[in-house]
């Protein structure tokens, strides 16, 4: 059979190849950046004084740059969220730091949802095991999805950004999803920005107390989430 005689690829096959190619390139880029710069970026963010001086070097544009960094961090987990939130509190204070973190998170979440809408389930199939996706099948219940999402995003240490990748496939308006999850994120973020603001005020004892309390709540939240999630998976299996 000659090349000319070979069957032309269907639009669905072309789309699948395109999705796989784009996702593979994105994954390769992420691995490269993480391996080369991940540790250095994390160390830089954790040095709150150096991070603050760097942002202040951009003057009025520092806040905009921070929002961009936060949005990228939401989409691509090169660095964990908590150190960046603490740095936000150190640089901008509890409430302004919270506002910037929230803005960046919402932008990043919209980018994630856009990717899932553009590439569909094929993108998730490449990176997420099928049984993992099925473990969140209970979110397809439109009547229960709202309260469940609020609880999941409210509890510290739950896989929030992973669930955001499922937003495009949950039977819920994107605006409703963003509103519910955005409000539920606030307590978790504000504890980090509050801790950072105390570090900025040289109130180390208070910062340590806030961090320790948050760590304990996070551990309890992880245990609670696992127990609750396992129960829901069995109920909707």
pLDDT at 163: 78
Residue 1 in any domain: the answer is no
pLDDT at 8: 54
Residue 5 in any domain: the answer is no
Q: What is the DSSP secondary-structure string of 82-123?
A: HHHHHHHHHHH-HHHHHHHHHHHHHHHHHHHHHHHHHHTHHH
Instruction: Choose between 136 and 152: higher pLDDT.
Output: 152
Average pLDDT rounded to a whole number, residues 153-169:
75
Domain that holds residue 146: 11-129+138-236
pLDDT digits (tens, 9 = 90+) for 181-193: 899 999 989 999 9
CB 187 within 8 A of CB 218: no
Q: Average pLDDT over the chain, rounded to whole? A: 79
Residue 44 in any domain: the answer is yes
Rounded to 5 degrees, φ, ψ at 172 are: -155, 145
- When pLDDT is cut at 50, 70 and 90, the band that residue 4 belongs to is very low
Residue 161 in any domain: the answer is yes
- When pLDDT is cut at 50, 70 and 90, the band that residue 84 belongs to is very high
pLDDT at 88: 94
Q: DSSP state, 171? A: S
Residue 176 in any domain: the answer is yes
- What is the rounded (10 degree) CA torsion for 227, 230, 234, 237? 150
CB 71 within 8 A of CB 107: yes
pLDDT digits (tens, 9 = 90+) for 185-218: 999 899 999 999 999 898 989 888 988 888 888 7
pLDDT digits (tens, 9 = 90+) for 23-78: 667 666 666 666 665 677 778 788 888 999 989 888 778 999 999 999 988 888 77
pLDDT at 156: 73
What is the domain count for the chain?
Answer: 1
């Amino acid at each position: 059979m000659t090349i000319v005689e070979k069957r032309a690829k269907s639009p669905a096959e072309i789309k699948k190849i395109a999705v796989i190619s784009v996702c593979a390139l994105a994954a390769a880029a992420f691995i490269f950046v993480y391996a080369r710069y991940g540790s250095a970026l994390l160390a830089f963010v954790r040095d709150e004084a150096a991070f603050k001086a760097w942002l202040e070097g951009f003057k009025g544009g520092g806040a905009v740059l921070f929002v961009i960094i936060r949005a990228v961090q939401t989409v691509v987990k090169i660095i964990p969220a908590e150190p960046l939130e603490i740095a936000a509190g150190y640089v901008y204070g509890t409430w302004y730091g919270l506002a910037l973190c929230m803005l960046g998170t919402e932008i990043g979440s919209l980018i994630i949802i856009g990717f899932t809408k553009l590439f569909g389930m094929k993108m998730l199939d490449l990176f997420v095991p099928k049984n993992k996706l099925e473990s969140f099948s209970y979110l397809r219940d439109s009547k229960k999805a709202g309260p469940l999402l609020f609880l999941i995003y409210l509890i510290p240490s739950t896989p929030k950004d992973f669930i955001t990748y499922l937003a495009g496939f949950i039977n819920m308006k994107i605006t409703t999803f963003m509103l519910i999850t955005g409000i539920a994120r606030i307590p978790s973020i504000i504890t980090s920005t509050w801790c950072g603001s105390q570090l900025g005020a040289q109130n180390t004892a208070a910062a340590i107390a806030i961090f320790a309390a948050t760590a304990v709540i996070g551990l309890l939240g992880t245990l609670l989430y696992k127990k609750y999630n396992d129960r829901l998976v069995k109920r909707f299996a």
